[in-house]
Each structure stands twice: as C-alpha cells, then as structure tokens.
Structure 1
Amino acid sequence: MVRVPRLVFSGLDVGRIRFAIMPFQEVLKAARGLGLRHPPPGLAGWRHSVRPLLPAAARPVLALCGAHPRHLPDFLTPQPPARPWSFEDELSAALDDPAAPVMADTVAFADVLRSTVPVVDDLIQHPDEGRRILERSFVALHRAVLAADWPRMQAQLAADVSYRARLAARHGVAAMLDTLCPQFVRWRYPYLEFAGPPAADHALDGRGLVLVPSMFLTDGVHRQLNDRQQPMLFYPARTAAEFWRDGARFAGPDGRLAGPLGVHRAVLLRTLAARPGLGTGEVAAALGVAPSTASAHVARLRRDGLVMTVRSARNARHELTPLGWQLLDANIA
C-alpha cells in the first residue's frame, strides 16, 4: 500500500539510532540551495551573498545538485563511521572508493531526471574522469563558500546533536524522535513518518538509523535508503532558521570570529553558562540593559556560533553552543 513515507522500527532499531555530522553532505546541501531554481526557505540572502564568489570550477556540482529537488546518486552519501569526519575524509569516501557502484547509482539518478545533465553523462560514459571532475568541483565550491564559515556551522550542528542526546537521556528516545522536526517528522511507534512523496513503508530490519542535522536543509527531510548502508535521515538543525534569519554571512577568507566579544557579551556567555535557557527579558535583567540591547547581544553571539536560540510559540530561550563552552573553558571570554 502506498502512503505517507514511513520508516518501520523494531525494538532493536530504536537501540541502534545514532547521530553524525557530515561536512561533505553540507556542501551537497549548499550546492542544492544554489542550484535549484527557487532557493529553499531562508537561503535567499545567503545565495545572493555567495553567488559572486562562485568559481567556474563549481558549475558541475551546481548542475548535479540542482538537477532534482530530492534525489542525488547514492554513492555521494557514503556510510559515516563512528569517528568524526572531515570534509576531505568524506569526499574521499564518496569519490575514491573503487567498490562504490558509481555506474548503477548514476543510471538510477538519470532515470528520475527530466533532462540530461553533462556531468551525469560523464559519470556514465567515463566514470573515472567523471569522478575527478566532481572532486575538483566540490573542492572549489567548498573553498569558495563554506570552508571559512564551517566552524560556526559545525558548532550549530554539534549543539543540535548534544541537545538531542540530552533529551534522549532525560526523557527517552521516543521524546527525542517526537521532537526531531515537528513540521516534517512525526513519531508514532513503530513508525517514523516524514514529509515526502507517497512511498511504501521501509523496514529498518535491525540496522538502526543515522540521524544527520543540516544547516542548509530548511525545506524538509532527506533520506538515504538502500540495501548496502545503514539508513540515514537528514533533517533541519533546530537552529538553522535562526541562523539564516540573523542574516548570517561568511566570516571572511581567514574564518576567524569577527572582533573581540566586548564586556557585555562576555558577561552574557558566563550568565548563560550558569543559567542555560534564559529568555531575552531575563538576559536583559541579568546584564542591566534594555531588552532591545540584550537581543542585539544575543544575535551577535548567535551569528558567531557561540549561542543558540530555540523558539517555542512566542518564547525564545538561549543557551551556549559547544563553541561557546570552548571559549569559556579557554578563558577567552
């Protein structure tokens, strides 16, 4: 029976849920945001700011990732290991593995396209050269628009994973899944339903699930389901909307955080370390400033990847990201 797409869990699958941060997949999602005719929600300003930075070498990746709003060849999403991955490690796993079924995955991708894409034809007709073209293109795109700003984005993703791990530890895995991404995902054991075209149920069959937060995925969830990998579900990080709403811009070619913190922002970091989850009014009272000034300080720290803000109804609560904790631990603040 064809219905809303669902993953079917067993008790064993629930115990095999894990998280991963995948930097190369963020480049894929960024390329998708640049390549699609209409930008995903929240990314219009970012697209406008980075388009002048795009080198010609990035065009094959933009064409590939913009060819279909939901699909890419599966070989571009390798199985994440238990250890953290760098962009280079993940890129190598995707494009340098001789066992990867590049031909079969690319042909399957070509079948869902309405028109041909030159880089797809290259992958089918000349797989080795097609891989090298993509590798050079991914590296060029990464260097141009993502590498400098990656520390801030990684801090947001790490904060997302940390929050969900704490939630699962305190309230159980069901509570974590139930709040994963309410606008796109719904948990009703044994089913995890998610937004997407109608599809038959997909049983996890004891393989568990890898949950991957994304800063660039703002318009839904993406799945990676095949017989050779642990299933993966990519979802919007809980701070992604705030990150883009703040008008985040890349930090510049050196990737450093912009300027010293200043006294009020240093005090704000220490305050949130001692009292996580404060609202803006409470922050203002703690700092002895007007709410508008407190909101501006929070926004600046959020843009720098030091603070995350979570909204529920009309309330906004602020807490430190892992990068914020690192700054305090090193006595930088």
Structure 2
Amino acid sequence: MLRIVFTPEDLARTRVAATWGPLGETLLSLTTLQQTQERALFGTWRRTVDAASAARRHPAAALFHEAYLDLFTVTGAAATLEEGLEALRAARADHLHSELVGAADARLRYTRCTDPWAGTAWGDIAYDREDRDTLLAYLADAHRSAVEPYWPRILSRLQAEQAGHARTLAEHGAEAMLAGLPPGFRWRPPVLSVGQGAVTGTVELRGRGLLLVPSVFCRTRPTTYTHELDEQAPPVLFVPVIRSVADAAALLTTPEHGLDKALAALLGRTRAHALDAIGRGPCTTGQLAERISASAPTASEQAGVLRQAGLVATTRHGSAVMHALTPLGRALLDGRHFQAAPLQAAARVGSPTP
C-alpha cells in the first residue's frame, strides 16, 4: 500500500490529465505484457501481441519487467508517439542515468533480489547512443502491436475518464474527486491510500500537488513518478481504467474481430483507424492526429484519401478544417450495405491524393 499525504496547498494544486500519450501507454503495456496475472483481463491481448511481435522476447524488455524505470517524467506527456520518442532521444544523459539508478534501488527495496541490476542490466540508454536508438526502435515496434491497434478506443475512454474526474473537481473540489477514485484508492483526509497490504511507502507532496493520469495498462505496484530535475513538478500517479472483463473486451479485443478487422484489411489499419476516429465525432486535423496517434501531416493525408473515396467530408471553419463522416462512410463503419457502394468507394482509397 502506498500512502500519499496532502496539505491544503496540495489539494488546490491537484489535477487530472486525460492521458500521458501513446508512448506512456506503450511503456506501461510492456510491463503488463510480461506479467502473468489477470489472465481474464489481458490474456487475449497478450496472445495477440505475442503473435504480432517479439516485444516480450526482446532483450530490452528486461527494462520493463517491473514499472520501476521512470521514463514518464523523462519524456513528459506527448500527444503522439513521434513526439514522445523524440523527447526520449533528446533526454539528458544524467537524467536517464539517475532514473536507471532509481529503478535499481526500487528493485532492491521491493523484491527479494540481492542484485538490483540482475535481469535489467540491458545496454546503457543514458550514455550509449546506439543503445538508446535500439530502445527507441524497440518502443516503436512494441507500440505498433500492443497499443496502436486499440489507440482510438483507448484515447476515447481515457478522455471520458478525465472529463468525469474534472467535472467532480470543478463542482465539488479535490477531496470529492479523490474520494470518487476507483476501487483500490481510499481517501481519508489528509491521506490517499493506494493498493492493499502493508505500507510500502509514504509520499509527502509538500505543496507540489498531484497529477492523476488515467491509464489502460497501469496494473503494477502503485507508485508515484517524480521528476528528478524539477523539484516543484507534481508527482504523477496513474489510475487504472480497466476494472472488469467487459472493460478489457471493449478496449483490447474489438479491433481484432468483426468489421474492424475487415476494415483494416480493406483500407489499411491506419486508414481504418482514421475512419473510426472521425466516426466518433467531427474533428479537426489536429484532433484526428491526436486520436490516431499520428503526426498532423499523416492525419491530413489519411483524411484526404478518405475524402477522395467519398467516406469523409471536409469543411473549412476559419483557419481550421473539420472532418466528418459522409453517409457512405457511416454505412461502411457501421457495416450497413457492406457489399455494395462502400466497397466500390474503398477500392479508390489506395489512389494517390492529387
């Protein structure tokens, strides 16, 4: 159990983010992938990822066997995978080194291992550029199989979770929001307890506040992540959003079944995700890029191809453009008339945008 101690100033500075971004979820997913518990929730997802990639078998996976290595505060929250990887590429060597030392120390404190580096001493991502580039390539590959296929639904769920907590915070205050956190969290002023069992640590916020971040793949020993180079930054605490088999099925199995799988085969996975993302509500190019975890140029290209196929309509509002599904796009997404016009339109999707 983790105890987080608040002062009145901490309560005033406590906030909720929607997500740490696709790289943050990828980092957490690598730990969840290697764990064997909660098979009902993550068993199907693990088998799917194992069949699609060597993420679990790669030597760098040892860095994420437990969620002790804090790359979250190293990169900061990042809206796209590319943004997060670039932040990691540019990270200061001394910052990464301190996080590696901290992870080794945590392993020594929380496990029976007498050698804190055993099983985790892969490479030198702090000072060896080749090792860091290898890590970046590994994370990009892991993301493609573990997170990217599910990202539009994950992001939608995380945004909804954040909106609910933010509404409680705005209308009733921080204490009501903390009291309304899911099972596993217990608010007894001035302490927020996380997890079960004996106390494994106490965090004194000391006026920094707390940043709560909903997460699909946060399933490890509760811990806060603190920026090594910024003493005033609020610690980060991830809050799980998967609380039932139904949650896991909705977020982590749907893309591999039924129409979604057919759409991915028909349009290509990224384009199918773009169509699905626009189907969740009209959006600008920037919002589409965030929903599908892509750069703005990539999102613009995908929207352009879908528009050319007659699946998406684009209108201009001032300096921004807004993308929305056409009736043909909605029919294809919903599976109606799947044998007729949508197939003809989709056949043109591969044509280059003029």
TM-score by length of 1: 0.66
Residue in structure 2 matching 1:254, options 249, 253, 269 = 269
Question: Post-superposition shift, 1:130?
Answer: 2.5
Q: For residue 248 of structure 2, what is the aligned residue in structure 1?
A: 244
Equivalent residue runs for 1:1-333 within 5 Å? 4-20=1-17, 21-22=19-20, 23-39=22-38, 42-55=41-54, 59-66=58-65, 68=66, 71-78=67-74, 80=76, 85-98=79-92, 100-111=94-105, 112=107, 114=113, 116=117, 120-123=121-124, 127-181=128-182, 183-195=183-195, 198-218=199-219, 221-225=222-226, 228=230, 229-237=233-241, 241-246=245-250, 248-250=253-255, 251=260, 252=264, 254-255=269-270, 256=272
CA distance in 2, matches of 1:199, 1:160: 27
Equivalent residues of 1:42, 1:218 under 8 A apart? no
Cα distance change, pair 159–240 in 1 and its aligned pair in 2 (3 A): farther
CA distance in 1, matches of 2:118, 2:128: 14
Which deviates more from structure 2 when the two are superposed, residues 88-97 or residues 55-64? 55-64
Question: Post-superposition shift, 1:220?
Answer: 6.1
Question: Post-superposition shift, 1:226?
Answer: 5.5
TM-score by length of 2: 0.62
Cα distance change, pair 36–44 in 1 and its aligned pair in 2 (3 A): same
Cα distance change, pair 8–159 in 1 and its aligned pair in 2 (3 A): same
Cα distance change, pair 190–95 in 1 and its aligned pair in 2 (3 A): farther
CA distance in 2, matches of 1:57, 1:248: 19
Equivalent residues of 1:77, 1:94 under 8 A apart? no
Q: For residue 285 of structure 1, what is the aligned residue in structure 2?
A: none
Cα distance change, pair 141–125 in 1 and its aligned pair in 2 (3 A): closer
Equivalent residues of 1:61, 1:138 under 8 A apart? no
Equivalent residues of 1:224, 1:233 under 8 A apart? yes
CA distance in 2, matches of 1:329, 1:44: 35
Equivalent residues of 1:187, 1:193 under 8 A apart? yes
Cα distance change, pair 121–145 in 1 and its aligned pair in 2 (3 A): closer
CA distance in 1, matches of 2:158, 2:174: 19
Equivalent residues of 1:157, 1:213 under 8 A apart? yes
Structure 2: stretches of 5+ with no match in the other structure:
282-321, 331-354
Equivalent residues of 1:27, 1:146 under 8 A apart? yes
Classify the secondary structure of the residue corresponding to 1:90: helix
Structure 1: stretches of 5+ with no match in the other structure:
261-265, 271-326
Question: Post-superposition shift, 1:208?
Answer: 1.0
Classify the secondary structure of the residue corresponding to 2:123: helix
CA distance in 1, matches of 2:93, 2:14: 26
Classify the secondary structure of the residue corresponding to 1:212: strand
Aligned-pair Cα RMSD in Å: 3.5
Cα distance change, pair 205–98 in 1 and its aligned pair in 2 (3 A): same
Deviations 1:115-147 (A, max 9, x none): 656763412795433322211100111123322
Identity over aligned pairs, percent: 26
Equivalent residues of 1:14, 1:173 under 8 A apart? yes
Which deviates more from structure 2 when the two are superposed, residues 164-173 or residues 225-234? 225-234
Question: Post-superposition shift, 1:149?
Answer: 2.2
Question: Post-superposition shift, 1:107?
Answer: 2.8
Cα distance change, pair 241–215 in 1 and its aligned pair in 2 (3 A): farther
Deviations 1:33-92 (A, max 9, x none): 2122445661111112221101469713433212x3xx32224543636xx622222233
CA distance in 2, matches of 1:175, 1:328: 37
Cα distance change, pair 123–39 in 1 and its aligned pair in 2 (3 A): farther
Equivalent residues of 2:32, 2:220 under 8 A apart? no
Question: Post-superposition shift, 1:105?
Answer: 2.1
Cα distance change, pair 239–35 in 1 and its aligned pair in 2 (3 A): closer
Question: Post-superposition shift, 1:30?
Answer: 1.2
Q: For residue 286 of structure 2, what is the aligned residue in structure 1?
A: none
Deviations 1:226-264 (A, max 9, x none): 65342010011267753314462435451426999xxxx
